A and B are shown apart, each in its own frame.
Chain A
Amino acid sequence: MGLLPHLVNGFALGLLFALIALGFMLILGLMEQINLAHGSLFALGAYFAYAIATPRVPMPPDALQAWAAVPLGWRFTAAMLLAPVLVAPFGVVLERLMRRTYGRDPLYGLLLTFGVAMVIEELIRMVWGTRDYTLAVPRGISGGFLMLDLIWSSYRFWAAGFAIVAMAIVWLVIERTRFGALVKAGAHDSEIVQALGHDLEQLRVWVFVLGTMMAAVAGVILAPVWGIRPHMGVDAVIPAFVIIVLGGVGSFWGAVLGGILVGMVVGLSGAYASEWSMLSMYLLLILVVTFRSRGLFGKKSVLEA
């Protein structure tokens, strides 16, 4: 009964999931730290975007009115660019806190980031309250369009396209810049890299900042689709974790393919076995890991990405 629309939907959803997993993958893959605060940083990005675009910032009333009069397209773009910048300092602080856990049992990093996640979520509740918000989307990319005789959401496809661009940029940074090469080498053998005179500490901060900003960008992009509420981070960090393990820890393409697979599975089950839609990604994970315990593209060393 029309499988094609659901395949298309699943693929678009998958690209969005891959976008969410990207920041998580960066930090986990390049620094081998599990950042459970990823979800809260995702949420923070959405909230900051809401504050900038709507606008709801503590500014003098004239300035506020002037900003509100600016077309939504500009405000939305500003939110997209500024929100990650505002969330970045949280990444810096997080990295500093994480330093004590480097080289030790990964459980410490997990616990620390879990605690930070809860602190950030509570901060969000304190500042913005517990009610939910919506992020308005510029007219040009909102509304519906007709395809295959059905009405689709324009914004979703725009967001999926944006996700492709974001993934391309991240890939370029990791694979084609000196920065990416250094960080990968540092993750593999920190002693040699430091002996060659590179400031690994500084590099790690940058990776964290990049991962944090990716989480925030994902939050901004997903906010109009999923809505903004204090515990929205959970909707991001759990799929991100599943996708990374599914795709293989440390693999960029694993994260992309993992995201797309999760999206397809969730989208298809939503159409044909809807009560399984939330559970389906976990079943997929179990299936893949049973046959390939390292995930689809799991590699021994991060240098082989």
Chain B
Amino acid sequence: MTKHRITRRGALKASLMTATLAGTASLFGPWKSNRVWAQGKKPIKLGLTCDASGQYGNSGQDDMRGMRMAIDEFNAKGGVLGRKIEWITADTETNPATGTRVAERFIAQEQCGFLLGAIHSGVANAITQVANKYGTIYMNTNSSAPSEAGENCSRIKFVWDGNGTNFSKAAVANAVQKIGKKWLLLTNDYVWGHTTAAATKAEVEKAGGQIVDNLLVPQNTRDFTAYLLKVQQIKPDVIAMAIGGDDIKALRQQIAELKLEDKAAWINNQQDWPDIWGVPETLFGVFGTNWYHKLALPGVPEFVKRWQATYPKSPIPVPGNVSYNGYMATRELLRAIEQTGSTNNIAIIKALEGRKMSAVDRMQTYDAYIDPITHQVQQTIYLARRNPKPADNTDLFEIISAATPEQAMDTASLAACKLKPYADVPTYEQ
């Protein structure tokens, strides 16, 4: 048996291996690097993570229209801090894995200072994980899963849309009393559907109602016959739907074809404008939104005109809530950069937390603010139904109520969200 001698070569090799391992171990995070790019009048680069295909492809493009309008407005005034705002976009395909890849590429390779976008809550969460690693601020413009303001909240992420709980709170208690106690849930089988259904269930039970069944609808379901047959067999008082994108369009069509909209009360959680436009005759029931282009509020007609002038060839002729959220998120981000005087991410996060935005500024009924605990924008929540007397062919909604941010507040998320301390967030400046 040969004696195992520790040769010098062996020792060198071992230490080299150890050093490499130790060095690369830091690659697996958490990053705490401080990165500062060269100063000077470099442009500020925004990464727009928008779907161009998949269940939310239409909405993703509408989201981007709002963002680009805000960017153009700032660039027309000379940019921000004298720096031009540049942007790039890529199709996140309504797919979380794609969202991860796009976010990674935007930050690591394309050197984007900020990310904006996402409608699908799974995509939003995926992007948040990536942005978290680098400390990149991410404006989640249009996701509505309560989880994104709750357990998936993040110090670098800000949620601009109302979520399932907000809309349920605005709609449910009233409906249990006025319409009936027997509720059926139709739920898109992913995080937004589940968390929204859970929120609705909580509200229904609190108001004294009962959920008789929760039918899960896989994403990209095209044929809802089995569900509609069950609905007719169960005969609930109210059917609460948490279904989005292309799926809700197909479902509404099939319901309208069978004239089932009169057979029960249908409550849709939130209806995105792109999901309604194109098949308005299938719009029925009560649903929520956070903005409408015909709100009788100052600034709304001017905003609509500006948007139409910017996008004369848009497939949707007027802006809706999705475009509105994209615009608002981008505008506030750029304002925050201007106010702070730098692109330091911690400074901007602090400028956004607790930020008050007036009703007039937001073109909503009540003042809004960015909640410092969950980073969700607490805002007016509207309930609407199909307009029986439209003023023109875009006047599809009749707004029936407006809930204050306090009335619609998602209290569960306040408890579930745990933001990490500023010291744990990698800093950067672009």
Residue positions of A touching B, CB distance < 8 A: 1-2, 5-6, 9, 13, 129-134, 142-144, 150-153, 155-156, 225-227, 229-231, 235, 266-268, 270-271, 274-275, 277-279
The chain A residue sitting closest to B229, CB to CB, is A5
Q: Which residue of A lies closest to B213 (CB)?
A: A274
Additional pairs, 19, CB under 8 Å, beyond known A150-B232, A226-B223, A274-B189: A5-B229, A6-B226, A130-B52, A130-B57, A130-B61, A132-B58, A134-B279, A144-B257, A144-B258, A144-B259, A150-B233, A151-B259, A227-B246, A271-B226, A271-B227, A271-B230, A274-B215, A274-B217, A274-B226
Residue of B nearest to A1 (CB): B233
Establish whether residues B220 and A278, one from each chain, have CB atoms under 8 Å apart when the complex forms: yes
Q: Are A153 and B189 in contact (CB under 8 A)?
A: no
Closest chain-A Cβ to B64's Cβ sits at a distance in Å of 12
Given contacts A155-B257, A278-B220, contact A132 B249 (CB under 8 A): yes
Judged by a CB distance under 8 angstroms, whether B298 is at the interface is no
B50 CB to closest chain A CB (Å) equals 12
Q: A129-B315, A130-B53, A274-B215 are in contact. Are A143 and B246 (CB under 8 A)?
A: no
The answer to whether A227 touches B230 (Cβ under 8 A) is no
* B129 part of interface (Cβ distance < 8 Å): no
Contact of A142 among B52, B225, B257, B263 (CB under 8 A): B257
Q: Interface size for chain B: under 10, 10 to 19, 20 to 34, or 35 or more residues?
A: 35 or more
Determine whether the beta carbon of B225 is less than 8 Å from that of A153. Answer: yes
Which single member of A2, A230, A275, A278 contacts B233 (CB below 8 Å)? A2
Assess A134 versus B253: contact at CB under 8 Å? Given A2-B233, A6-B226.
Answer: yes
Which of A129, A227, A270 touches B227 (beta carbons < 8 Å)?
A270
Q: Which residues of B contact A274 (CB under 8 A)?
A: 189, 215-218, 226-227
Cα(A235)–Cα(B221), bound, Å = 9
- Pick the residue among A6, A13, A151, A278 that contacts B258 (CB under 8 A): A151
* B246 contacts A132, C-beta separation under 8 Å: yes
Q: Choose among A9, A134, A227 the residue that contacts B226 (Cβ–Cβ < 8 A).
A: A9
Task: Specify which chain A residues have a CB less than 8 angstroms from the CB of B259 in the assembled complex.
Answer: 143-144, 151
In the docked arrangement, what's the CA distance between A222 and B324, Å?
35
B222 at the interface (CB under 8 A from A): yes
What is the minimal beta-carbon distance from A188 to any residue of chain B, in angstroms?
Answer: 38
Establish whether residues A153 and B257, one from each chain, have CB atoms under 8 Å apart when the complex forms.
Answer: yes
Question: By the criterion CB–CB under 8 Å, are B249 and A270 in contact?
Answer: no
Please, how many angstroms separate the alpha-carbon atoms of A274 and B247 in the complex?
Answer: 15
Q: How far is the CA of A131 from the CA of B253 in the complex (A)?
A: 16
Query: Do residues B218 and A277 form an inter-chain contact, with CB atoms below 8 A?
Result: yes
Quote the shortest CB–CB distance from A208 to chain B (angstroms).
27
In the bound complex, residues from chain B placing their C-beta under 8 Å from that of A235 are 220, 222
Identify the B interface with A (CB < 8 A): 52-54, 57-58, 61, 189, 215-218, 220-223, 225-227, 229-230, 232-233, 246, 249-250, 253-254, 257-260, 263, 278-279, 315
B278 touches A275 (CB 8 A): no
Measured between C-beta atoms, what is the minimum distance from B402 to chain A in Å? 30
List the B side residues contacting A226 at CB < 8 Å.
222-223, 250
When the two chains form the complex, which single residue of A131, A144, A270 contacts B315, counting CB atoms closer than 8 Å?
A131
Output the least CB separation between A139 and chain B (Å): 11
Across-interface contacts of A6 in B (CB, < 8 A): 226, 229
Given contacts A132-B246, A153-B225, contact A143 B52 (CB under 8 A): no
Among residues of A, the one whose C-beta sits closest to the C-beta of B215 is A274
Q: How distant is A210 from chain B, measured CB to nearest CB, in Å?
A: 26
Q: Is the CB of A9 within 8 A of B225?
A: yes
Q: Bound state CA distance, A229 and B220, in angstroms?
A: 11
6 A-B residue contacts at CB 8 Å? A130-B53, A132-B246, A151-B260, A152-B225, A227-B246, A227-B253
Which residue on chain B has the smallest CB distance to residue A275? Answer: B216
A130 vs B57: C-alpha distance in the bound complex, in angstroms?
7
Q: Are A270 and B258 in contact (CB under 8 A)?
A: no
> Nearest Cβ distance between residue B89 and chain A, in whole angstroms?
14
Distance in Å from the Cβ of A45 to the closest Cβ of chain B? 16
Q: Which of A153, A229, A268, A279 meets B254, CB within 8 Å?
A: A153
**Cβ–Cβ contact A156 & B225, under 8 A:** yes
Known: A130-B57, A132-B278, A274-B216. A151 touches B226 (CB 8 A): no
Instruction: Name B250's contact: one of A142, A227, A230 (CB within 8 Å).
Output: A227
CB distance from A11 to the nearest CB of B (A): 12
Within 8 Å CB of B278, what residues of A?
A: 131-134
Closest to A225 in B: B223
**In the bound complex, do residue B232 and residue A151 qualify as a contact, i.e. CB atoms below 8 Å apart?**
yes
CA distance A142 to B323 in the complex (A): 35
Q: How far is the CB of B129 from chain A (nearest CB, A)?
A: 25
| With contact pairs A143-B259, A151-B260, A153-B257 given, residues A270 and B232 touching in the complex (Cβ less than 8 Å) | no
